[in-house]
Amino acid sequence: MQRRQFVLSLPAIAAAPSMFLSQPLWAHHGWSSFDETRPLYLAGKATRVRWQNPHAELVLDVSKPLAVPASLKSRLAPRQSATVDAPAIFAKAVVPTRSDARWTIELSPLTRLQAWSVAEISEGDMLELVGYTFAGEKGEAILRVEFLIRGEVVTPLRSSPA
């Protein structure tokens, strides 16, 4: 009887991979997937916010025209436990060469956002972001955020407060 149950379940087992392939999957990207030599600046309105782990995520409707504000270079970021040179990153930040109107934005895990006392982002919130995408801006329009800027508050997202 056990063998028969096993044999009957073989078609289900064989079909399982195709069932998974037909379903959309959320991938988690580590920092190594992104080109940290070229920080990008994005600004716009948050839409479709997912405030959950493994990291908070949203879609950003990019402001037009998009330009790096001159004031970005003088922004101060609080110290964090990782060694990140905020002034150097802000000085190198550029707008993307691609012209996507919408970007998927990956923030940090909720525990880190809570450590920085970041209030939950809501649809319609205006944000400025500095972060990284894939080398050559290839593939999806995804930005892994290094710094979240809301109004005058700059929040580093690489690590926890120092």
- List, for residues 86-103, the tens digit of each pLDDT value: 999 999 999 999 999 999
38, 134 Cβ separation under 8 angstroms: no
Determine the structural domain holding residue 68 and report its residue range.
26-156
**Residue 95 and residue 63: Cα distance in Å, rounded?**
11
Is residue 96 domain-resident? Answer: yes
**Residue 8 and residue 23: Cα distance in Å, rounded?**
24
pLDDT digits (tens, 9 = 90+) for 31-58: 568 999 999 999 999 999 999 989 999 9
Pick from 149, 102, 106: which is nearest to 130 by CA? 149
Helices within 2-72 (DSSP H only) = 2-21
63-69 mean pLDDT: 97
Percent of the residues in the chain that have a pLDDT greater than 90, as a whole number:
78
Is residue 16 domain-resident? Answer: no
| Number of domains present in the structure of the chain | 1
pLDDT of residue 1: 32
The structure's pTM equals 0.81
Average pLDDT, the chain: 85
Bridge partners of residue 26, in order along the sequence: none
